[in-house]
Structure 1
Amino acid sequence: MTRTVPTTPYTDQKPGTSGLRKKVKVFQQPNYAENFVQSVFDVIDGKAGATLVIGGDGRYLNRDVIQKAIRMAAANGFARVVVGRGGLLSTPAASHMIRSRGALGGLVLSASHNPGGPDEDFGIKYNIANGGPAPEQVGDALYARTKTIDRWLTVDAPDVDLDSMGEVVVGDMVVEIVDPVQDYAALMETLFDFPAIRAAGLTMAFDAMHAITGPYATEILERRLGFAHGTVRNGTPLEDFGGHHPDPNLVHAHALYETMMAPDAPDFGAASDGDGDRNLIIGRHRFVTPSDSLAMLAANAHLAPGYADGLRGIARSMPTSAAADRVAQRLGVPIYETPTGWKFFGNLLDAGMATICGEESAGTGSDHVREKDGLWAVLLWLNILAARGQSVDGIARDHWATYGRNYYARHDYEGVDTETADALMTALRGALAALPGRTVAGLTIFTADDFAYTDPTDQSVSSHQGVRILFEGGSRVVFRLSGTGTTGATLRVYLERYEPAGGDLDRDTGDMLADIVAAADEIAGIVRHTGRHAPDVVT
């Protein structure tokens, strides 16, 4: 029987680029998680008789919120809920599950690459029927509902045994506990040449960072592709990710980097993040930036069976380097520059306008799902390595010799006071009109703008997506505030220098970007506004 629980709104439940992310203790407030889940259910149509997918990255609080969400789904008229065993589903696997089951949507419980544990972060994201994140209009309606909600619905039922596969009934709704890995692994086998990868004799190291991809990587890499036992490191998902930050960058995956820079390094190294949608790619003695990885994957995707017919288009987020643009030009396919957030790619993928998409924040994916997909990128790299018979370093050098090189880095200033960060961006936007033609740190500004995007599929407009400063010669700096943190603001500064083919293609990235770093501080007044003389993280 449905039970109505009175509640009062919280004022801080505005979803960011990837749902609602807050500290665990915030979500543990009375009715906090329930208010948000009920608001999701209140703004979506078609719940009666529908299927809902629920799963997450295994972080602290996942199991508690899943139990609440199951009972609430039963009270709100869903006919079936599909849950990954143990409450586990990587974000790309959840996207695939929504699509393959014809579900109305799904609740993805994760704070992605943010740390986990009782004092750390938690998150809830709603994905729609195409398997992708809810579009802005749904997010706006959801936020509006959180501000007026006065009740949530549930049924009185015991907790479901999340660790036993099979079906149980909660209220009038069927709850199906499924293997979280098998359907996703089967999808990967349709896209890539597993026999060729097995036959190539490659060695690798994969760091799952005690996060969700551990079981997926163990099944696919060690069992199906035959890599040695122990190839997958830190493969058991833990509620606090082993006390580490599950972000696959050179700071938080430094042990993997050291392995790959050693004299006896394996052929290939990779890592993924908390919920499995990001990736880190390192060859023996060669780190590949996410922007370069997107370009190299796009240039070589035809070597994998799932992409043998070529690409319909390539999409990248605005802060991502322009390396992929040059690949698109050579392939004769469109390139789309979108705001940050995978939901913008989803429209292009659904419309058949793009095949491969990527973000500088270590997210790449294709039209096989509607989320970025860390293991997908790893497997495409392995397929390319097997097909070309070259090292990662050899492929990178060949690519730069053909297309030129976009030296690239992102500087993150984390936990900046929100008012301070907003003041910096406001001042920067106010100075845009006067910047073109100005010379800063030896660089002449060609143009400057506040990026706005008109979606070619529905003509919707997204404004104020980040400030772009473009210098003569193809270099640039981009400033934006991130929506993925839980405290303060993260100022992200994206630095890019283009060196054409035949130029200086194997220099230290820091050296090549030094003048752009100086220009960025002079233009935006980073030290003056924040008091920070160096970023917290460089990727």
Structure 2
Amino acid sequence: LGLATDADGDRFGIVDEKGHFVEQNLILALILDYLVEKKEWRGGVARSVATTHLLDRIARRYNLPVYKTPVGFKYIADLFLKQKIIFGGEESACLTVKDHLPEKDGILAGLLVAEIVATSGKPLSELVEELHQKYGRRVFKQESRPISLEIEKKLTALIASPPAELAGRQVEKVVTVDGLKLDFSGDDWVLLRLSGTEPLIRCYAEAEEETEVNRLMKAAWEKVE
């Protein structure tokens, strides 16, 4: 098991016993599932719009409310101060939990993963596989491209008038708290948003199969390029 943080300790990186990097969305889901199943925590779950819907699947199983925020951990931290939140996470390797700092903590994430491995007596790769069996396999991707005035105008127009379908799939829900997010059946989704820190436009997508993720992202990029 390998545990790492960035230079200031607020983001995490986890490697399993085989030396394979474990995608951060899976770590978020693993920790949330542990907290609600083994520790029996109950309360709200906070995540950014760019974060895996695996968290939603876990929350649905335990009848927990899910709060969706713009990208930026400050929005999740603010919810901890206003609501009964037990867990908050972002796809960019950020999380915190109740009765801790209302801020992202990579050291905490690593310690929680170590606790899960130690108390279960199972290697991390096996725990991740069990997570897949319980909640389904998900593929998540994120791409960034340079922004231009033309792209920004197209995204603004798209937010004002979202499509009813994309890549041949019916849009079930439109979310515009941070860019344009289109939700589809089966917890599949795609998001286009402008970076808040760099001159980039980002595209995120999640689905059961990588081919579907690629299809959704290709169709989304075509809307703004």
Measure how far apart 1:408 and its partner are: 0.9
Measure how far apart 1:448 and its partner are: 5.2
- Kept in 1: contact 2:166–2:219 (CA 8 A): no
TM-score by length of 1: 0.39
Letter in 1 for 2:152: D
Choose 1 or 2 for highest CA Rg.
1
Give the equivalent residue in structure 2 for 1:97: none
- Kept in 2: contact 1:468–1:477 (CA 8 A): yes
Give the equivalent residue in structure 2 for 1:334: 65
Output the CA distance in 2 between the equivalents of 1:418 and 1:365.
35
Output the CA distance in 2 between the equivalents of 1:445 and 1:520.
15
Instruction: Sort the Cα spacing of 1:523 and 1:495 in 2 relative to 1 into closer, same or farther, 3 A.
Output: closer
> Quick one: which of 240, 252, 270 aligns to 2:3?
270
Output the CA distance in 2 between the equivalents of 1:428 and 1:352.
32
Give the equivalent residue in structure 1 for 2:27: 293
Measure how far apart 1:446 and its partner are: 2.2
Give the equivalent residue in structure 2 for 1:231: none
In structure 1, runs of 5+ residues without a counterpart are: 1-267, 453-464, 499-511, 530-539
- Kept in 1: contact 2:192–2:220 (CA 8 A): no
Instruction: Sort the Cα spacing of 1:523 and 1:484 in 2 relative to 1 into closer, same or farther, 3 A.
Output: closer
Give the equivalent residue in structure 1 for 2:185: 472
- Kept in 1: contact 2:13–2:24 (CA 8 A): yes
Output the CA distance in 1 between the equivalents of 2:219 and 2:11.
32
Measure how far apart 1:289 and its partner are: 2.0
What is the aligned-residue identity percentage?
A: 28
- Kept in 2: contact 1:424–1:524 (CA 8 A): no
Output the CA distance in 2 between the equivalents of 1:478 and 1:372.
23
Give the equivalent residue in structure 2 for 1:369: 101
Letter in 1 for 2:203: V
How many aligned residue pairs are there?
223
In structure 2, runs of 5+ residues without a counterpart are: none
Measure how far apart 1:302 and its partner are: 6.1
TM-score by length of 2: 0.87
What SS does the corresponding residue of 1:514 show, helix, strand or coil? Answer: helix
- Kept in 1: contact 2:141–2:213 (CA 8 A): no
Output the CA distance in 1 between the equivalents of 2:158 and 2:97.
35
Give the equivalent residue in structure 2 for 1:407: 139
Output the CA distance in 2 between the equivalents of 1:352 and 1:387.
30
Give the equivalent residue in structure 2 for 1:360: 91
Letter in 2 for 1:513: E
- Kept in 1: contact 2:48–2:71 (CA 8 A): yes
Output the CA distance in 2 between the equivalents of 1:383 and 1:430.
46
Letter in 2 for 1:428: L
Q: How does 1:309-348 map to 2 (within 5 A)?
A: 310-348=41-79
Give deviations 1:436-495, integer Å, cap 9, x for gaps. 2x352xx4132352423xxxxxxxxxxxx121122333311111111123xxx1211111
Output the CA distance in 2 between the equivalents of 1:303 and 1:331.
9
Give the equivalent residue in structure 2 for 1:449: 174
Instruction: Sort the Cα spacing of 1:514 and 1:346 in 2 relative to 1 into closer, same or farther, 3 A.
Output: same
Measure how far apart 1:352 and its partner are: 4.5
Output the CA distance in 1 between the equivalents of 2:147 and 2:202.
14
Give deviations 1:146-199, integer Å, cap 9, x for gaps. xxxxxxxxxxxxxxxxxxxxxxxxxxxxxxxxxxxxxxxxxxxxxxxxxxxxxx
Output the CA distance in 2 between the equivalents of 1:331 and 1:448.
23
Letter in 1 for 2:8: D
Instruction: Sort the Cα spacing of 1:379 and 1:388 in 2 relative to 1 into closer, same or farther, 3 A.
Output: same
Output the CA distance in 2 between the equivalents of 1:297 and 1:318.
19
Instruction: Sort the Cα spacing of 1:309 and 1:495 in 2 relative to 1 into closer, same or farther, 3 A.
Output: closer
Measure how far apart 1:377 and its partner are: 0.2
> Quick one: which of 184, 188, 205 aligns to 1:495?
205
> Quick one: which of 186, 190, 213 aligns to 1:516?
213
Greater relative contact order (Cα < 8 A, sep 6+) = 2
Give the equivalent residue in structure 2 for 1:281: 14
Output the CA distance in 2 between the equivalents of 1:418 and 1:274.
32
Letter in 2 for 1:514: T
- Kept in 2: contact 1:365–1:376 (CA 8 A): yes
Instruction: Sort the Cα spacing of 1:355 and 1:474 in 2 relative to 1 into closer, same or farther, 3 A.
Output: closer
Larger helix percent: 2
Output the CA distance in 2 between the equivalents of 1:300 and 1:422.
41
- Kept in 1: contact 2:140–2:205 (CA 8 A): yes
